[in-house]
Amino acid sequence: MILDSKIPDGPLAEKWEKHKFNVKLVNPANKRKYDIIIVGSGLAGASAAATLAELGYNVKVFSFHDSARRAHSIAAQGGINAAKNYQNDGDSVHRLFYDTIKGGDYRAREANVYRLAQVSVNIIDQCVAQGVPFAREYGGLLANRSFGGAQVSRTFYARGQTGQQLLLGAYSALNRQIAYGKVKMYPRTEMLDLVLVDGKARGIVTRNLITGHIESHSAHAVILATGGYGNVFYLSTNAMGSNTTAIWRAHKKGALFGNPCFTQIHPTCIPVSGDYQSKLTLMSESLRNDGRVWVPKAKGDKRPPQNIPEDERDYFLERKYPAFGNLVPRDVASRNAKQACDEGRGVGSTGLAVYLDFADAIKRDGLDKVSQKYGNLFDMYAKITGENPYESPMRIYPAVHYTMGGLWVDYNLMTSIPGLYAAGEANFSDHGANRLGASALMQGLADGYFVLPYTIGDYLANMPAAKVSVDHPAFKEAEGAVRADIQKLLSINGTKTVDDFHKELGHLMWDYCGMARNAEGLTYAKGKIRELREEYWKNVKLVGVNEEFNQTLEKAGRVADFLELGELMVTDALNRNESCGGHFREEYQTPENEALRDDENYTYVAAWEYTGSNSEPILHKEELQFENVKLTQRSYK
Amino acid sequence: MAGNNPNSKPMNLTLKVWRQKNTNASGQLVTYNVKDISPEMSFLEMMDVLNEDLLRQGQDPIAFDHDCREGICGMCSLYINGRAHGPESGTTTCQLHMRKFSDGDTIVIEPWRANAFPIHKDLSVDRSALDRIQQAGGYVSVNTGGVPDANEIPIPKSIADKAFDAATCIQCGACVAACKNASAMLFLSAKVSQLALLPQGQVERKTRVENMLAQHDEEGFGSCTNIGSCAAECPVGISLENIAILNREYIVAKATSENV
Ligand SMILES: Cc1cc2nc3c(=O)[nH]c(=O)nc-3n(C[C@H](O)[C@H](O)[C@H](O)COP(=O)(O)OP(=O)(O)OC[C@H]3O[C@@H](n4cnc5c(N)ncnc54)[C@H](O)[C@@H]3O)c2cc1C
Ligand code: SF4
Ligand code: FES
């Protein structure tokens, strides 16, 4: 297989303009002859669906949620980046590009990231036109805040609910097209397989989650915008339903999987409290604008925080990274928190937490101002922990948050299967080995509003408008395989629940493929995951039938896929003998414990080809070319 | 947090849960006992514990909707001890924690009840009627691209803040469940007033309110008689003022209707 990233020629700043001019267009009258399937209605899926329908294509949108608006994008808190330079603080498209490449530890494609920075400015315009109520200054203009990994203020926000407001904007544009009849929405419908005809993506097989009805849908192209797979760790900040099934099943049908091990562990989450815990809650990174992170200087200091005098506190981020302080990128902040806890200086009953303290901010700006900025986050913290963060510092600990890896895509966002596209968190592009805060919302909307609508036309323009019937043997075969898998799961009748397996997998992933990894642990985990997977198919317990609303069955299919994906993540982490961004291999670190890259041997995207459930995947390398930035050791000091 | 509150003793509770196989089946309350529930658990984690138990015994777990468990997706929807989203005001079911209950309590758990929300199974209901109200006009008609620079539309902070408050509705439907008329007016008014407040929403202001209201009635939601239980149970504090704005918008729209 040849990996062609299809990066256009020419100077970085002109590539996208040139490409847009060179792509083929589908004539307006012909667009209605083409059908596009979009799986997912989060920021990426909803924005793509609305825009493609506005252009005239027939769009079908699928979501396992009961409403398009419940996609996990709704939960994003902190904000969205854009190189508007409204603050006149020196921001520019080039600076956003540079920060993103550097933040990603030089493992992302220059051309994609530059395009992302370019279209970022259009996103804000679009959202405002839709009525998205961003935060504003008293003069009526848009307000900004700062996020990690940047020294400018370029993050647009809507209190602590930016994802909600952006998604509601995209959802409203989608609703308008549903009302016009250009989009048909299929809520509570889960994609369970991708269908290829003559080597091209031509449709999907779905299950209606209420009735269990298995059905095929045919189209000229398929877009997967199905979000991230952080729930492979069982506990994460993702919603309970977030899963890998759509992209994993596409991977099994031939789509290469890019950098599966690149996972983001977010530094500011509410710590785990017990084994019953079902998910972890993020406390937005924006809190690091005003909150100060610290632990006691002495090991095992169990005094309440108020009783620990100033000079016995270690504000470790400010101490080690004076230039960026509490606003270092996430991977750096997370690793340092872990280190402090590993040294025995962690706080709270488990010792797996550090303080995030607002006392100084409250003293400086007053309680009102702090509550205006972060009120809803403080309330959430209080509800979950039963403690008042206005009075004593929050306790936070890193948690799995985002997956930089995903389906490999070229510059056009097409996967290695012709006609199959991946957008948003589901693809691997743009964030390299570490994503900067407020950049996922930007990427999802860039993909959906401004990239796919151009690039998909280029593909369709070369394609005959003839439709493939869902009676085609390829659909029948895929439906049969889906039914067989479901029947198998339902018939095992073992002794352990789906959640039992999921938790075990999660522990393995967190312990050996989490914030710190090493060859020995990864090798161990790989064997364990295989054993667990084997046991799953012999000993999992489900009840009920397919022809009903069966939430255990839904979960069972998703966990089966996590059990395969987990192994690929471990394989990828084992292959990458370097540390970069969120991928920290303990064998490869600088004397100051920073990530030590190996640019000579690992400046590539690892794109894995599936070869069967118990056989080794094949590695394809996309070498990354850096023509516009110099690769240096990241420094936030 | 575990051990943070050393007095937090595990609780034993009696649950009476609505079980209904599917939309057409009849349902009833079934009693379950749950033991050793930590006060630090969330309400839904307590439900998870019960479901895992049922599963191990080969029984059908209780179907309920949930996803983000952070109070933002609007998916969770339980009617707990006679209140939508349970006893704590301003809180979704998923954000409710067991420390609000005491050892020995009996908790009655039912689905949202409204004609416009058919029950899928047990505690899960069909709220797609709310989506259809949004589709009737809850948008500004702009296509992607060709819009002005964001800062060309300055909006006074006070107006932007008010619009934001209205825009925080999570479409959970608690207002409908709480209302004895099963009216969705609070939900509807939140969208109408968000867009009526903003300059972007002016052009379609009249048709929007008329069309959304017509859809509301067509879906079988009841009419509003100004009782206010909706706002009392709304987990995100959507205020009754929005209904006042809605009424004003409607009167103006009717008087000078563009819908012909
Ligand atoms: C708590 C939290 C806070 C965050 N805060 C920020 C922030 O402040 N700024 C920022 O930039 N980023 C943030 N992120 C990251 C960002 O929110 C996500 O990366 C982004 O929203 C993902 O959008 P998406 O459209 O790719 O996927 P999602 O929004 O996850 O949507 C996935 C969609 O796919 C559907 N789907 C999935 N699988 C299937 C299937 N098999 N069949 C049918 N449908 C399927 C789902 O129903 C859903 O509609 C945050 C993430 C979390 C978890
Ligand atoms: S108005 Fe409140 S109660 Fe009603 S749907 Fe919106 S958030 Fe829920
Ligand atoms: S589960 Fe999302 S609001 Fe409760």
Please state the rounded mean pLDDT for residues A468-491. 98
Please state the rounded mean pLDDT for residues A464-491. 98
Say if the Cβ atoms of B49 and A239 lie within 8 Å. no
- Give how far Cα A171 sits from Cα of A45, A48, A165, A168, Å: 10, 11, 10, 5
- Interface with chain A: mutation pick from B34, B45, B139, highest number of A CBs within 10 Å: B139
CA-nearest of A462, A451, A414 to A48 is A451
Q: Looking at the partner chain, which of A138, A349, A544 has a beta carbon nearest the beta carbon of B3? A: A349
DSSP H or E run through B1: none
Q: Which residues of A touch B61 (CB under 8 A)?
A: 543, 551-552
pLDDT grade, residue B260 (50/70/90)? low
Largest CA distance in chain A: 74
- Interface with chain B: mutation pick from A51, A67, A156, highest number of B CBs within 10 Å: A67
Residue type, B147: V
CA-nearest of B87, B60, B174 to A545 is B60
CA distance A17 to A115: 9
The number of CA neighbours under 13 Å toward the Cβ of A451 is 34
CA of A609 vs chain B CAs: smallest distance (Å):
32
Tell me the backbone φ, ψ of residue A308, rounded to 5 degrees: -95, 110
CATH topology of domain A473-596: Methane Monooxygenase Hydroxylase; Chain G, domain 1 (1.20.58)
Q: What pLDDT sits at residue B259?
A: 61
Q: What pLDDT sits at residue B246?
A: 97
The residue written with tokens 């993506």 in the block is A201
Say if residue B5's pLDDT is above 80. Answer: no
Q: For chain B, positions 37-76, list CB contacts with chain A under 8 A.
A: 38, 40-42, 44-45, 48-49, 52, 55-56, 58-61, 63, 65-75
Beta strands in A40-163 (DSSP E): 58-62, 80-81, 155-156
Tell me the backbone φ, ψ of residue B32, rounded to 5 degrees: -135, 150
Domain boundaries for CATH 3.10.20.30 within chain B:
11-121
CA distance A630 to A496: 52
Is B5 at the interface with chain A, CB within 8 A? yes
% of chain B residues with pLDDT over 90: 94
How many residues are there in chain B? 260
Query: In the structure encoding, which two tokens stand for residue B93, read together?
Result: 């079911």
Q: Looking at the partner chain, which of B1, B149, B157 has a beta carbon nearest the beta carbon of A348? A: B1
Is B147 at the interface with chain A, CB within 8 A? yes
Instruction: Return the best residue to mutate from B187, B219, B242 for the ligand 2 pocket (most ligand atoms within 8 A of CB).
Output: B187
Say if residue A147's pLDDT is above 90. Answer: no
CA distance B79 to B111: 6
Please state the rounded mean pLDDT for residues A126-153. 94
CA dihedral for A313, A317, A322, A323, sign (positive or negative): negative
Minimum-distance ligand 1 atom for the alpha carbon of A40: 34
Name, in order, each residue with C-beta under 8 angstroms of B6's C-beta and a sequence gap of 6 or more.
none
Q: Is B256 helix (H, G, I), strand (E, B) or coil?
A: coil
Query: In the structure encoding, which two tokens stand for residue A242, read together?
Result: 């977030």
Q: Looking at the partner chain, which of B1, B72, B91 has a beta carbon nearest the beta carbon of A74? A: B72
Say if the Cβ atoms of A172 and B168 lie within 8 Å. no
Residue pLDDT, tens place only, A432-447: 999 999 999 999 999 9
Neighbour count for residue A145 (Cβ, 10 Å): 19
CA distance A548 to A208: 9
Find the DSSP H helices in A149-268. Answer: 162-180, 245-252
Question: Which stretch of A278-282, A366-370, A630-634, B85-89 has the lowest confidence by average pLDDT?
Answer: A630-634
Q: For chain A, positions 120-179, list CB contacts with chain B under 8 A.
A: 122, 124-131, 133-142, 158-159, 161, 164-165, 168, 171-173, 175-176, 178-179
User: What is the ipTM score, two decimals?
Assistant: 0.97
A336-347 burial, b at 16+ Cβ within 10 Å, e below that, comes to bbbbbbeeebbb
CA distance B189 to B216: 11
CATH topology of domain B128-256: Fumarate Reductase Iron-sulfur Protein; Chain B, domain 2 (1.10.1060)
Please state the rounded mean pLDDT for residues B228-246. 97
CATH placement of domain A266-401: 3.90.700.10
Name, in order, each residue with C-beta under 8 angstroms of A210's C-beta and a sequence gap of 6 or more.
A188, A549, B120, B121
Contact A421, A259 (CB under 8 A): no
Q: What pLDDT sits at residue B1?
A: 36
Please state the rounded mean pLDDT for residues A248-266. 97
Minimum-distance ligand 3 atom for the alpha carbon of B69: 1
Say if the Cβ atoms of B75 and A65 lie within 8 Å. yes
Say if the Cβ atoms of B164 and A50 lie within 8 Å. no
CA-nearest of B44, B54, B49, B101 to B75 is B44
The residue written with tokens 């809507």 in the block is A158
Say if the Cβ atoms of A129 and B136 lie within 8 Å. no
% of chain A residues with pLDDT over 90: 92
Q: What pLDDT sits at residue B154?
A: 96
pLDDT grade, residue B6 (50/70/90)? very low
Q: ∠ CA(A120), CA(A124), CA(A125), 5° rounding?
A: 115
Q: What pLDDT sits at residue B256?
A: 85
CA distance A317 to B3: 28
Is B124 at the interface with chain A, CB within 8 A? yes
Say if the Cβ atoms of A385 and B1 lie within 8 Å. yes
Residue type, B97: H
Name, in order, each residue with C-beta under 8 angstroms of A146's C-beta and a sequence gap of 6 or more.
A152, A153, A155, A289, A327
Domain boundaries for CATH 1.10.1060.10 within chain B:
128-256
Rounded to the nearest whole angstrom, what is the distance from the C-alpha of residue A67 to the centroid of ligand 2?
A: 15
Is A180 at the interface with chain B, CB within 8 A? no
Residue type, A457: G
CA-nearest of A80, A83, A11 to A43 is A80
Instruction: Please state the domain extents for chain A.
Output: 266-401, 473-596
Torsion angle of the four alpha carbons A570, A279, A39, B126, in this order, in degrees rounded to the nearest 10: 150
Give, using CA atoms, the residue closest to atom 3 of ligand 3: B71
Q: Which residues of A touch B203 (CB under 8 A)?
A: none
The number of CA neighbours under 13 Å toward the Cβ of B54 is 19
Residue pLDDT, tens place only, A508-529: 999 999 999 999 999 999 999 9
Say if residue B115's pLDDT is above 50. Answer: yes
First-to-final CA distance of chain B: 60
The residue written with tokens 């019937």 in the block is A469
CA distance A214 to A209: 9
Tell me how many helices (H) and strands (E) chain A has: 18, 19
- Give how far Cα A383 sits from Cα of A527, A634, B100, Å: 40, 38, 11
Is B150 at the interface with chain A, CB within 8 A? yes
Q: What pLDDT sits at residue B258?
A: 64
Q: Which residues of A touch B123 (CB under 8 A)?
A: none
CA distance B254 to B238: 25
Ligand 1 binding pocket, CB closer than 6 Å: A 39-45, 62-65, 71-73, 75-80, 162-163, 190-191, 225-228, 237-238, 242-243, 245-246, 282, 401-402, 424-426, 438-441, 444
Say if residue B4's pLDDT is above 60. Answer: no
CA of B207 vs chain A CAs: smallest distance (Å):
14
CA distance A438 to B234: 29
First-to-final CA distance of chain A: 42
Instruction: Return the best residue to mutate from B75, B112, B169 for the ligand 3 pocket (most ligand atoms within 8 A of CB).
Output: B75
CA distance A113 to A351: 39
Task: Please state which CATH class domain B11-121 belongs to.
Answer: alpha beta
Q: Give yes or no: A202 in active site.
A: no
Please state the rounded mean pLDDT for residues A53-80. 97
CA distance A296 to A294: 7
Residue pLDDT, tens place only, A171-224: 999 999 999 999 999 999 999 999 999 999 999 999 999 999 999 999 999 999
Tell me the backbone φ, ψ of residue A402, rounded to 5 degrees: -155, 145
Which of these is catalytic: A69, A70, A107, A330?
A: A330
Q: What pLDDT sits at residue A274?
A: 86
Is A279 at the interface with chain B, CB within 8 A? yes
CA-nearest of A380, A386, A238, A270 to B71 is A380
Please state the rounded mean pLDDT for residues B171-179. 98
CA distance A226 to A246: 7
CA distance A194 to A203: 6
Rounded to the nearest whole angstrom, what is the distance from the C-alpha of residue B231 to the centroid of ligand 2?
A: 8
Q: What pLDDT sits at residue B33?
A: 98
Query: In the structure encoding, which two tokens stand for residue B126, read together?
Result: 């069909």
Say if the Cβ atoms of A172 and B68 lie within 8 Å. no
Strand-pairing partners, residue A91, are none
CA-nearest of A226, A230, A229, A204 to A217 is A204
Q: Looking at the partner chain, which of A139, A383, A499 has a beta carbon nearest the beta carbon of B97? A: A383
Name, in order, each residue with C-beta under 8 angstroms of A243's C-beta and a sequence gap of 6 or more.
A226, A229, A231, A558, A561, A562
CA distance A157 to A161: 8
Strand-pairing partners, residue A189, are A208
Say if residue B3's pLDDT is above 70. Answer: no
The residue written with tokens 């959507």 in the block is B238
Neighbour count for residue B232 (Cβ, 10 Å): 15
Q: Looking at the partner chain, which of A175, A178, A349 has a beta carbon nearest the beta carbon of B4? A: A349
Neighbour count for residue B115 (Cβ, 10 Å): 12
Say if residue A636's pLDDT is above 50. Answer: yes
- Give how far Cα B142 sits from Cα of A51, A90, A133, A169, Å: 10, 31, 16, 11
Query: In the structure encoding, which two tokens stand for residue A342, read together?
Result: 């590993």
State the pTM of this model: 0.97
- Interface with chain B: mutation pick from A157, A236, A278, highest number of B CBs within 10 Å: A278
Compare all CA atoms of chain B with the CA of A385 and give the residue at the minimum distance.
B1
CA distance A154 to A146: 6
- Ligand number with the minimum distance to the CA of B114: 2
Q: ∠ CA(B91), CA(B94), CA(B96), 5° rounding?
A: 50
Name, in order, each residue with C-beta under 8 angstroms of A4's C-beta and a sequence gap of 6 or more.
A410
CA distance A133 to B171: 17
CA of B189 vs chain A CAs: smallest distance (Å):
16
Compare all CA atoms of chain B with the CA of A239 and give the residue at the minimum distance.
B68
Please state the rounded mean pLDDT for residues A350-366. 95
Please state the rounded mean pLDDT for residues A550-570. 98
Is A298 at the interface with chain B, CB within 8 A? no
